[in-house]
Chain A
Amino acid sequence: MNVAVRHATAAQRLKVVDCDIHPVYRTTAELHPFMAAHWREHMATFGPHFRHGLTGQLPFPRMMAAGMRVDSFPQDGPPGSDLDLMRKQHLDANGVECGMLIALSRGGMEERNLEFGAALSSAINDWQLECWVRKEPRLRAAIVVPQENAEFAVAEIERRAGDPAFVQIMISPRSSDPLGHRRYWPIYAAAERCGKPLALHVAGYSGGHPSTGSGWPTYYIQEHYAMSTGMQNTLSSLVFEGVLERFPKLKIVMIEGGFAWLPALCWRMDKHWERMRAETPHLKRRPSEYVREHFWFTTQPIEEPENPEHLADIMSWVGWDRLMFSTDYPHWDFDDPKQAFKFRLTEQQKAMIFRDNARAFYGLP
């Protein structure tokens, strides 16, 4: 079959909600219209202030093309900065009927100067609206917040709470304290009040702690893996600190952290909590019950066991209703919706994972 026809037919057959797309600005000048003059000045002089040793680059460099799909570079600008290319190469080609933007660049999650972080967050949120969502009806935004200061974060959430273009509140799980800690609770209160879920997605080296609980690793393969162990630690914190007991309406999606680790972690949490439960009297239910009610997971990067049927086991243990498809476009470990699963899914499972779970989670019309 002709290649172009094959793509179009596949796109027609498959309609997906993509829960992880990364928009990027060509240059920081794109943020200028959304920032006060003195903050533009600050950005040009003192610049971003992160918890690692380099400016403008990561201390664990990525692999090919700085971690981007080699085929996703527009004529000018970095991957993810060109809406037309994103449409052509991804939204249209892959039948994306709705895409959730996760804006990682220079948001408030990582910034140590908290007032500057608040200004950046607000600018990124305006930028998402003006440069992306208003121009492309298939896209939705996430509220970026300066998460290490709960007061500033709540203010930004409340500023955006009424705008349906923002479907969730983005928090980096790589925080300065585990996310279950009380100092973040005002953020969860605000999320619960405005009825928007939390989206946990790693951003840089935001919190400043080593990537593992045993010090800093050496190679990118280890850094990449830390996304999943860190997400496990975060989930554990949210459960054991009683966040889900205190905020029973809160919904949380864990993005790009994997999901195959979930059954074993729930088994482990349950087993050891059972014996040590006197330590956490505020928990009224077992850990896995809180997880079952409050957590969803995006699928990328999908696991690739030697026997593909093993992945089906994991997915049924996690729950077919808990998984939401994502691509991570334009990053290198992209999952193509037509190719992501190497075992046969039923039509119902496909519909749930590629669309219906996300439609329910986000309340899409």
Chain B
Amino acid sequence: MARKLPATDVVIIGLGWTGSILAHELTGAGLSVVAIERGPWRDTATDFPTTYAQDELRYHIRHDLFLRPAQETMTFRNNASQTALPIRTWGAFMPPNGAGGGGVHWNAQTWRFLPTDFQPRTHLTERYGAKFLPEDMTIQDWGVTYDELEPHYDKFEYLCGTSGKAGNVKGQKQAGGNPFEGPRSREYPTPPQKQPYGPTLFAQAAKEMGYSPFPQPSGNLSQGYTNPLGLTLGPCTFCGYCEWFGCGNYSKASPQTTILPSLIRRPNFEARTNCEVLKINLDKSGKRATGVTYVDTSDQEWEQPAELVLLCAFQLFNVHMLLVSGIGKPYDPGRGEGVIGRNFSHQVTSNVNAFFDGKNFNPFIASGAIGMCIDEFNGDNFDHGPHGFVGGGYMGAVQTSARPIVSTMTPPGTPRWGAAWKKAAAENYLSSYQVVTHGSCYTYRDVYCDLDPTYTDRLGRKLMRITFDFHENELKMSQYLTDRLAEIAQKMGPRQIAKRPRTGPYTIKDYQTTHTCGGAIMGTDPKASALNRYLQSWDVPNLFVMGATAFPQNAGYNPTDTVCALAYWAADAIVSRYQKTPGPLVQI
């Protein structure tokens, strides 16, 4: 039996990037906020000190910072003819856990989406005709534009101190930046990171081929930076332990380094950690959230009443929470109806390994977002007409790490063990280099999430079931991007390359990215979206759902900058409009 707690203005489920941003904005507007976080409290000094944070086995191989599947997982199948089975150990993506969420262990690659990424259906139909898109492709416009989000992108990047070089300031092209990006209101807060050898060679080769290479925007900072909240980050030292790790150096933008020390001092904020929300409670009408029920570590259940509920967990868990709370109509792929679980997507990445003679890349001198990229093949930056697919991605030499358990490369044809493997590993570690593509993933009628009929979590709730496979459009795109990348890699002068385009079927075993998207998407039509353009639930107006959950499909960039811009966009709508007139912010 749940014991009832005193009501609060706002309850937040999940204290990652979006929970921290919303909590900061809403406490700043005078509201009392309680954040309920399933994982532990985490801070830099305690949890990732530089004395032992550089531990590949513990953090990467054994998943120390991540949610334990025993606590919550999903089932997976490639298509509806299969029986979904539980994801027993993480593979394709790494669900976060604890204060800071994925902001603790991201690579800090801080990209904006292209302006046309927000209206893909309208834009692609206008340019290529409606028949150019596959019949079962379900991409949608977002209901929000790049220009509307620009101030919020800017706010997040200045919170983080993002290091980069603008390519477009107020419509004026800037030499050295990404010429394809949407207009920025101002330059990045800090200059780009210094570039190691590999990205430098890549940029030279790309430039000789007529492309416009630019430094990847990085949340690992090139210099010290004090953000608008008064919090100071230090310069990145290129240790090479970013993704999968917490930064012990206060150099990586995270809720820990950019928000939480300020937020926690506010008397109208409180976090409850190691407390797991079981469901969002609704009143009898089903149209109003009354708060949440959560369980603490002694198995005591608590009811936390609130005027406003903000669902800020990781994308997959937001969708699961909506499904188990009975909010919104579950998606039915047969009829193509319903909104919760539809338009699920991931990311389509690939790489080319290049093996050199007489070069030393010192690949371990790394940072999660250090590198040189080109954007000629992203979004609709090139004419897709001759190619028969839509979408694209950036590509580049991004020197995130060379931790030896995972990163020791050997040329194709090398045995996997024995003297020949050992010799090849010894000879190629310093002189081989991997370049990557990072591509979009569009959505399809038969790719979705729902509740699994068989498997349950430790609390007795049904697990969420993921039905996902790559479609021909994405595989063609990956082949095309990988071919273009291989041309640049070849120009870098290796003795041998290995092209590795993404191929199907999608596997849950091998890490791809933690950029799962969709399932409760934003849009303009309540029949085809769960959220309106302010991330407000169409069905329950005092519920807002943050995160990549709202992405109608995924673009060819890392999602965090857009996730956080949307959080600021929603926070602004809540403070400036919803608080004055609680109720639906969009009338149909």
A, B from the same assembly: no
